[in-house]
């Protein structure tokens, strides 16, 4: 495998186990806010509806069609609407509590911690994320991996969201890196590996999340971080 000096990582769904952390938070809120009394009998029903609504709104946010403030309001309002619940106070409580709790969950994908601890000894590690600036740092701190990264760049800071090449170029500028010695690691074939490819970086596509279709054009593909670890230490 090619020797890289700089490795750029996506955060949500790649290092930080968004699905596990989000679902744990939603299960807590389903119980604590008594959502069964509002006709949402099972936490799994809430999770299924929320994940579908949130994914659609995130696509619109990344396309620049809605601001984050609208996303945050609509995702729980629309989720409750799936169950015929029209309660603005409840939607606001869900939105506020979810945003406060979810980023503080510590779950990482298996093998991430060992990979970062090893690579940090002789690589420069960085984050490129489309996630909200005010919560991404909390996720890094809560999961205990913040100290491994030199550059943490959000789309809000860069003024461009993945897959726009500008965010990758900005991250490389901040890191003092060049594309030829850099690798981008992420789970999203459009935003992460596709975007990095457009900016001239090699890419490693993480296909460990359920339903992820492998990026056939990616430089590397892996289903577990132990595989990436072996590749990089080849």
The percentage of the chain sitting over the pLDDT mark of 70, rounded to a whole number, equals: 100
Average pLDDT, the chain: 96
Are the CB atoms for 94 and 117 separated by under 8 Å? Answer: no
Task: Give the tens place of pLDDT for each residue, 89-131.
Answer: 999 999 999 999 999 999 999 999 999 999 999 999 999 999 8
Identify the structural domains of the chain with CATH numbers, from first to last.
6-17+108-233 (3.40.50.1000), 19-104 (1.10.150.240)
Report the predicted TM-score, pTM, of the whole model to 2 decimal places: 0.94
Are the CB atoms for 181 and 4 separated by under 8 Å? Answer: yes
Average pLDDT over residues 210-215: 90
Average pLDDT over residues 209-213: 86
Helix (H, G, I), strand (E, B) or coil at 198: helix
Residue written as tokens 């604590």? 32
Residues 6+ apart with CB under 8 A from 109: 14, 15, 16, 17, 206, 208, 225
Q: What is the 3-state secondary structure (H, E, C) of 64-125?
A: CCCCHHHHHHHHHHHHHHCCCCCCHHHHHHHHHHHHHHHHHCCCECCCHHHHHHHHCCCCEE
Distance of alpha carbon 20 from alpha carbon 178, whole angstroms = 34
Helix-helix angle 68-81:43-62, to 10 degrees: 150
Tell whether the model's pLDDT for residue 197 goes beyond 80.
yes
Task: Give the tens place of pLDDT for each residue, 51-104.
Answer: 999 999 999 998 889 998 999 999 999 999 999 999 999 999 999 999 999 999
In which region does residue 211 sit, left (phi positive, over 0), alpha (psi from -120 to 50) or beta (all else)?
left
Distance of alpha carbon 60 from alpha carbon 169, whole angstroms = 23
């Amino acid at each position: 495998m090619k020797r890289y000096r700089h490795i750029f990582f996506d955060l949500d769904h790649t290092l930080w186990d968004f699905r596990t952390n989000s679902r744990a938070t939603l299960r807590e809120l389903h119980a604590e806010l008594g959502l069964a009394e509002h006709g949402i009998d099972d936490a799994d029903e809430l999770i299924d509806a929320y994940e579908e609504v949130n994914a659609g709104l995130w696509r619109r946010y990344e396309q620049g069609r809605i601001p984050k403030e609208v996303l945050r309001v609509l995702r729980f309002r629309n989720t409750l609407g799936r169950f015929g619940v029209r309660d603005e106070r409840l939607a606001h409580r869900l939105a506020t509590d979810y945003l406060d709790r979810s980023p503080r969950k510590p779950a990482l994908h298996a093998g991430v911690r060992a990979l970062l601890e090893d690579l940090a000894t002789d690589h420069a590690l960085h984050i490129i994320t489309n996630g909200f600036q005010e919560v991404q740092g909390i996720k890094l701190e809560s999961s205990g991996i913040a100290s491994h990264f030199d550059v943490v760049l959000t789309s809000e800071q860069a003024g461009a969201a993945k897959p726009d090449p500008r965010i990758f170029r900005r991250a490389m500028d901040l890191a003092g890196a060049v594309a030829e010695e850099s690798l981008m690691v992420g789970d999203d074939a459009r935003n992460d590996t596709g975007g990095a490819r457009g900016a001239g970086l090699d890419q490693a596509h993480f296909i460990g999340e359920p339903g992820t279709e492998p990026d056939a054009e990616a430089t590397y593909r892996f289903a577990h971080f132990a595989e990436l670890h072996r590749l990089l230490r080849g």
